[in-house]
Amino acid sequence: MRKRFQKGNVRKIHGSWIGRWWEDGQRRYETLGRVSEMTKSDAREKLANMLHPINARAQLNRVWTFGDFVEDVFFPFYRRKWKRSTRMTTEDRINYYLVGQFKERQLIEITRDELQEFLDSKAAALSFSTVDHLKWDLVAIFRMAVAEGAARRNPAELLFTPRNCKKSEGRVMNSKEVTELFKSLELRDD
């Protein structure tokens, strides 16, 4: 059975706050206190303190898949840090390329060579900047996985961005073209 972090719930029954949660596949409950003596927020806080050791045990023994770790741990933490524009582009990039590739893989099974081969394969189709961002994303995800105890080591730490990335199709105007551009613009009278 998959063990996940749980908040439980608090209900008012016959003038008492009752906390309910799951433990070892069984529904558990306990009276947290009288409604007249504590607020619902106090009851929730008391339940959270009771569930802390259960949640810690569940997280410690959990074998994380890449997709679950990104969705349940990495994104919630980094969303608080990212600007809106950063969040939109970074989440899209991680979901499309990284979660799309490694979603069901267990974090502890992913190797450095496998990640480098992934970056090498993306270099043929994507720009240097995009591949470099993917490398940075992998390093950050696995760094956090190590910090959280979800992985023993960071296989992304030594990754490098391949030099053979797709070249940008951008072109620079020459001086004659710049002159022609300025001639085509209307002058403003102020």
Any idea where the domains of the chain sit in the sequence?
9-60, 63-190
Q: How many whole angstroms from its chain centre is CA 139?
A: 12
The CATH T-level fold of domain 9-60 is 1.20.5
| pLDDT, tens only, 47-101 | 888 888 877 766 555 789 999 999 989 999 999 999 998 899 999 999 999 999 9
The C-alpha angle 111, 137, 81, rounded to 5 degrees, equals 140
Mean pLDDT of the residues in the chain: 87
Whether residue 1 has pLDDT greater than 50: no
- Tell me, what's the pLDDT at 150? 87
CB distance 101 to 145 below 8 Å: no
Taking Cα atoms as reference points, which of 120, 114, 104, 21 lies closest to residue 67? Answer: 104
| pLDDT, tens only, 30-51 | 999 999 999 999 999 998 888 8
Which CATH architecture does the domain made up of 63-190 adopt?
Orthogonal Bundle (1.10)
Residues in the chain: 190
pTM of the model: 0.59
Taking Cα atoms as reference points, which of 123, 66, 118, 115 lies closest to residue 95? Answer: 66
Whether residue 183 has pLDDT greater than 90: no
CB distance 132 to 119 below 8 Å: no
